[in-house]
Amino acid sequence: MFCFSQGRRILDLYVVRWEIEVYFRDCKMKLAVDKYQIRSANGIKHFWLIASLAYMIACFESKRYNFSEGYHLLSQMIRREQISFVFDYAQNGGDKSALLENIA
C-alpha cells in the first residue's frame, strides 16, 4: 500500500536527482562532454574532473551560482580578450600572417 510518507520520500529523492539532471544537461549543452570518446578509466576521471572544474568556475563567475549565466559571462570575457589581443597586435605593427598562423 502506498502512503503519503512514501510519496514524500520519492518526491524528495526526485528533487535531489533533478539537480544532477540539470548538471548533466548543462555539461552536455555547453561543455560538450557527450562529444568526447575516452576509453581508459583514468582518462574518464580526469575528463570529468576538468569538466566539473569548468562547471564550478562558470557557476562562481555568475555570483548567483547559475551555470548558464556564468558561462555566458565567461564567454563574453574571453571574446573581449581575443578582440583586444588582435587589436593590440595590429596596433603594434604585428605581422598579419604570423597572427593567423598562431591562431590556427
pLDDT along the chain (104 residues), means of 10: 76 88 89 85 89 90 86 91 86 79 66
pTM score of the predicted model:
0.63
Which structural domain, as residue segments, surrounds residue 62?
Answer: 4-103
Q: Distance between CA atoms of 71 and 56, rounded to whole angstroms?
A: 10
**Predicted pLDDT of residue 86:** 84
Which helix (H) or strand (E) segment holds residue 74: the answer is helix 67-91
pLDDT of residue 91: 86
b/e map 22-56, b = 16+ CB within 10 Å: eeeebbeebbebeeeeeeeeeeeeeeeeebeebbe
